[in-house]
Structure 1
Amino acid sequence: MIQKTDIWLETCLPYESNIQQAISNLDRVALKIILVVNASGVLEGTISDGDIRRGFLKGLNLDSPISEIIHRNPFVVSPGLSRDKVLGLMTEKQVQQVPIVNDEYRVVGLHLWDKIYQPVKRENKVVIMAGGMGKRLLPYTQDCPKPLVKVAGRPIIEYIIERAKEDGFENFIISVFHLGHMIEQHLGDGSSFGINIEYLREDKPLGTAGALSLLSPKPELPFVITNGDVITDISYSQLLDFHVQHGALATMAVRSHEWQNPFGVVETSGLEIINIVEKPIQRSHINAGIYALEPDVIDLLMEGECLDMPSMFYKIMDRKGKAFAYPMHEQWLDVGRPDDLTLAENLTEKR
């Protein structure tokens, strides 16, 4: 349903902002668009997560100004345009958000239509790693595999499947070990969820990459892998498209992470103090537990070998294979500890 909403006020960002502020806005508002305005409220342009990704690929960083990534002269409509006309234009332009501007080009609203398109059917497989012991999530995983732990009344793995289905994926492979029979009983062959499910059954823990050695036959198309304890709004289809467009052998979704040192950091030259930085913030990219791989990657694995995904990436890079990072800015949470369950409840309420 197309709608005009006052939430557009929260998507507005001053022209003088930096990329870190843009990422924070996308995470908080979750409308996949930023409206960049000047001091008079005039629309200078828009920013999407794709614009930010392209900026990082060009060498920009979190402190770079958004003027480096802004999409200028975006498609806009006037306030008096009818719903049907807006709908037709959004379909023609293939856009999901349209800023509404007045005669002075000041923003007065935003049209949204998240469900405007039917997803393109994807033959690519989605592999969900669901064999972990879930030790950090005890006691919840004492008699329940972690992917079946409920968040807001639904198992974690159902959120993963639902998100992938929204992107057109229908073929799933689930790797199971700890209490795997419970996962198979719950999901079956996937027909009740409108998908197809096959299972990889580990005789011993093989890690997030080692389980792929059980794939037989080897997939014919690039495929997506996700840990079975990650709740996110990432677009798996955009990740896969990014992977293919860059000719990567392996792509890892990464997320910006900030950590503030609780102390003042003293910088010295010998014994002389040259600077004091009060509670500095350190920024880095962390592994989000979501990947896209080419089928040939499986040839690097030995059947039955325990191997985690970072080690797999080292193998690829040692052989000079292309390994890319996919910067993601969508909501994301690794449900690894009991405290994360509360955070997950809040996250799912925003989805």
Structure 2
Amino acid sequence: MTQVQIDQMCVDDTYSLERAIARMDEGRRGIVLVIDAGRRLVGTITDGDVRRAILAKTKMDTPVRDLLLRKAGTEFERPITAPEGTDPQVCFQLIQSHRVTHLPLIDDQGRPVGLVTQEDFLPHAAAGLQAFVMAGGAGARLMPLTQDMPKPMLPIGDRPLMEILISRLREAGIRRVNVSLNYKADQISNHFGDGARFGVDLSYVTEDRPLGTAGALGLVETPKDTVLVINGDILTHVDFGAMVSFHREHRADLTMALRQYDVEVRYGVVECSGARIEALREKPVFNLFVNAGIYLLEPIVYQYIPNGTRFDMTDLVQKVMDAGCNVCGFPIREYWLDIGQRQDYDLAQQYAADGSVSK
């Protein structure tokens, strides 16, 4: 990595969160390096830090220094670094022992001159995962479009919806994909076959009746490793590797992807204590997180999935939480669209027309 590339990853602590995210996306390394006036490294902001800031509903104009202050008193108060010229194997040991994904290299003045990442030594975080695509739904809300065609086969531009999703999984390094089928199953299996034409190894799980958004998971053997579960009607540019890293960093048993969703109340909202009015807010907007239909499951979760019974992912998440397992939320900040209704499908076609789907 050149010094110019390192400089392009640097920000000072007055940068807003929004500007830091833009710099992070330009660098495509999932990190920005925070430097002082002498270019000395004073901290780092990672993709995980950004996601946690979103979960905390941090405003986009918040300065980076505020995010660094949140690390005070933790093991990450000061960035984990290594001197330039450090042996690569030592760098890897530091990454492993400190459970970090990035290791800045600094000169004798404390200035960043290089960056070593976990992916320099290990495959992409999502590589080797098995995915499970839920594609058995009838798409009733999209009738009459789905009268003769299952929703995953609806064309988005010049490709079926599920073909775009499969390509996203393949680009993330995911090769093993299970697909649950029910409604007009043959159209899907005939198009995709064994998946070889699309660069993946496809297997099918056929439901003899609709089993909900999680029931099909009970028809397969308990996996040995983490599984990515995704609804078959989603268009997204989410970084699956970042989601896996976040999941592992938080040692989650189940991680649910979340999307921010604003709800505007068209009336003045009144808060009362008994008969007394305590507050009045005119047409407030509530910022919420909604289920984005993408999950990471550890094998331990499968014991809570019934065999051959209708069961939804929301039921599973609640069961897992009730059992005391660690359930985390991963906020999506990338492109995401759930094609559940006709207006969503029309919007997807607009994105396809301007090239956004293929970016």
Give the structure-2-normalised TM-score: 0.71
Q: Report the 3-state secondary structure (helix = DSSP H, G, I; strand = E; otherwise coil) of the residue aligned with 1:282.
A: strand
Q: Would you say the 8 A contact 1:132–1:205 is kept in 2?
A: yes
Q: Name the SS of the counterpart of 1:341 in structure 2.
A: helix
The one-letter code sitting in structure 1 at the alignment partner of 2:176 is: N
Q: State whether residues 146 and 229 of structure 1, in contact with CA within 8 Å, keep that contact through their aligned partners in structure 2.
A: yes
- Name the CA distance, whole Å, in 1 between partners of 2:311 and 2:179: 17
Matching residue within 323, 338, 352 for 1:334: 338
CA-CA distance at 1:188 after TM superposition: 0.4
The residue number in structure 2 matching 1:206 is: 211
* 2:286 partner letter: Q
Q: 1:214 to 1:129 in 2, by over 3 A?
A: same
CA distance in 1, matches of 2:52, 2:288: 18
1:124-152: CA deviation from partner (whole Å, max 9, x where unpaired): 21100000010011111101100111112
- Read off the aligned partner of 2:289 and give its amino acid letter: H
Matched, 1:61 2:57: yes
Q: Where do 1:136-155 residues align within 5 Å?
A: 136-155=141-160
Match of 1:219 among 216, 223, 242: 223
> Superposed, which structure 2 residues align to 1:89-128 within 5 Å?
119=124, 122-128=127-133
CA distance in structure 2 between the partners assigned to 1:67 and 1:169 by the alignment = 37
- Structure 2: give runs of 5+ residues left out of the alignment: 35-41, 72-77, 80-100, 102-119
Equivalent pair of 2:126/2:241 in contact (CA under 8 Å): no
Q: Given that residues 261 and 279 in structure 1 are in contact (C-alpha distance below 8 angstroms), is that contact kept between their aligned partners in structure 2? A: yes
Consecutive unaligned residues of structure 1, counting only runs of 5 or more, are: 38-43, 74-94, 96-115
Match of 1:249 in 2: 253
Whether contact under 8 Å (2:207, 2:216) holds in the other structure is yes
Instruction: Give the alignment partner of residue 286 of structure 1, picking from 290, 293, 306.
Output: 290
Q: Is the 8 A contact 2:125 2:245 kept in 1?
A: no
Residue-by-residue CA offset, 1:207-229 (whole Å, 9 max, x unaligned): 111100111x3321111000000
Give yes or no for contact 2:222–2:302 (8 Å, CA) kept in 1: yes
Q: CA contact under 8 A between 2:125 and 2:244: conserved in structure 1?
A: no
Once the two structures are TM-superposed, the CA of residue 299 in structure 1 deviates from its matched residue by 2.1
Question: Are residue 323 (structure 1) and residue 327 (structure 2) matched?
Answer: yes
Please give the root-mean-square deviation of Cα atoms over the aligned residues, in Å. Answer: 4.1
The match for 1:304 is 308
What's 1:105 paired with? none
TM-score under structure 1 length normalisation: 0.72
Of residues 276-285 and 124-133 in structure 1, the stretch that sits farther from structure 2 once superposed is 276-285
Equivalent residue letter for 1:327: P
Provide the residue aligned with 2:98 in structure 1. Answer: none
Question: Who is 1:181 aligned against?
Answer: 186
3-state secondary structure, aligned to 2:191: helix
User: Match of 1:339, SS?
Assistant: helix
Distance 1:29-1:242 versus aligned 2 partners, 3 A rule: closer
Residue 53 of structure 1 aligns with an amino acid whose one-letter code is R
Structure 1 residue 49, shift from structure 2 partner: 4.1
User: 1:316-343 CA deviation, whole Å, 9 max, x = no partner?
Assistant: 1121111111122111110000100122
> Which residue is equivalent to 1:89?
none
Per the TM alignment, residue 15 of structure 1 is displaced from its structure 2 partner at its CA by 4.6
CA distance in 2, matches of 1:25, 1:122: 26
Residue 50 (str. 1) matches residue 55 (str. 2): no
CA distances 1:31-63 after superposition (whole Å, capped 9, x unpaired): 8989999xxxxxx99866432223367xx3334
Distance 1:184-1:36 versus aligned 2 partners, 3 A rule: same
Q: 2: CA distance between counterparts of 1:241 and 1:158?
A: 25
Does the 8 A contact of 1:55 with 1:68 survive in 2?
no
Identity of aligned residues (%): 35
Q: Distance in 1 between matches of 2:32 and 2:249?
A: 27
Letter in 1 for 2:192: L
2:223 is paired with a residue whose SS is coil
Conserved? CA contact 1:267–1:274, under 8 Å: yes
In structure 2, do the counterparts of structure 1 residues 139 and 48 end up closer, same or farther at CA, with 3 Å as the change threshold? farther
Asked whether the 8 Å contact 1:229–1:336 carries over to 2, the reply is yes
Deviation at 1:269, TM superposition (A): 4.3
Who is 1:158 aligned against? 163
Partner amino acid, structure 2, of 1:300: Y
Offset at residue 243 of structure 1 (A): 2.0
Amino acid at match of 2:57: N
* Distance across 1 between alignment mates of 2:170 and 2:348: 20
Q: Is the 8 A contact 1:13 1:35 kept in 2?
A: no
Report the alpha carbon displacement of residue 296 of structure 1 after superposing the two structures with TM: 2.7
User: Aligned residues, how many?
Assistant: 304
Partners of 1:168 and 1:36 in 2: how far apart? 27
Matched position secondary structure for 1:255: strand
